[in-house]
Structure 1
């Protein structure tokens, strides 16, 4: 029983070929592409409005040099949001429940922000390691602590996204299994459990959207410190 709970997090395989690459690439086909018409359809208009609002909200407090990252953060938000929400559908696979994928996204983005900081303003980037006015005996300890806190950022990014999605999926499967088992003997309790499962599903949709936004927001905050 314990093993079956985690089967949903295994990458699907067909004829020995992992299908995680297909699961990552397929959702992009769901979004409409812009056309040469003067008037776009409602779906394309809503998509454009969402991207514009998100980009403006994300980059409003950021300095002008950081605005060039808008072309990266907006598709990243759409990518994570699509992966998280589509993974809640039956008989689907959620690539963002894999820690390897999330770390593969978090570490390069974090490293890019650090490299930008050391390249554009090295003195300001090094100032984060040692706060101003630190007593001399505490300098080595604070340098070690601040360095560890800097290096742990990508790990926190990847683990946060993985843990939130994995916990939600496991809880939904546990409640769904309980409702299925209780249906023959305790119909009333099973119906109440199904109602709880419906509420939990709505909550998980909100969590999937929020976690995608939090991931991109934290990366933008790291960038804001270095531009």
Structure 2
């Protein structure tokens, strides 16, 4: 019984072909494409307004050299939000519950920010490893600690997104199972459990959006340090 709770996190396949690729393509199919007309509908207008506001807020504290990342970060934000939200629907699969996928997104982007810092401002990039005014006996220890914290950043990005979504989905399934089991025995308790499940579902919708925003926000902070 306990093993079935984790079946929802297994990558689905059809005739031996992984359906992860279909999950990647689906968000872009659902999003409306910009039209060449002068007047657009409300959905396109809302989407354009959201992207412009998000890009301006995200790029405001970053130097002009990092503004070329605006398209990448905005696309990543929309991509993660759509994947997380679609995973809340029944009989669906959430790719962002897979640590391999999240690490595949986090490691290349983090490494790109580090390489940009090493290329453009190597002194400042290496200066983050040793705070100014550090006592001489603590210099080797602090360099080791800061180096570990630098390399643990992509792991923290991937694990944070994976753990939050996995915990939420698992808790929703546990509460739903408890509600169905209690329904014939204690209807009143089952109704209360259903109300808790409804509130938890609303919370998970917020978590799905917030975690995507946090992922991109932390990536922009890493970029800000290196441009």
CA distance in 2, matches of 1:223, 1:36: 33
CA distance in 2, matches of 1:211, 1:225: 21
- TM-score, structure 2 as length reference: 0.99
CA distance in 1, matches of 2:212, 2:205: 11
Map of 1:100 onto structure 2: 100
Shift of 1:27: 1.6
Map 1:197-212 to 2 at 5 A: 197-212=197-212
- TM-score, structure 1 as length reference: 0.99
Moved beyond 4 Å, runs of 4+: none
Does the alignment pair 1:133 with 2:106?
A: no
Map 1:49-68 to 2 at 5 A: 49-68=49-68
Unaligned runs of 5+ in 2: none
CA distance in 1, matches of 2:7, 2:110: 31
Post-superposition CA distance 1:96-154 (Å, at most 9, x none): 00000000000001000000000000000010011112111111111100000000000
Shift of 1:185: 1.1
**How many corresponding residue pairs?**
227
CA distance in 2, matches of 1:191, 1:132: 59
Q: Match of 2:226, SS? A: coil
Unaligned runs of 5+ in 1: none
Q: Match of 1:225, SS? A: helix
Backbone CA RMSD of aligned residues = 0.6
Does the alignment pair 1:46 with 2:46?
A: yes
Map 1:18-33 to 2 at 5 A: 18-33=18-33
Map 1:172-183 to 2 at 5 A: 172-183=172-183
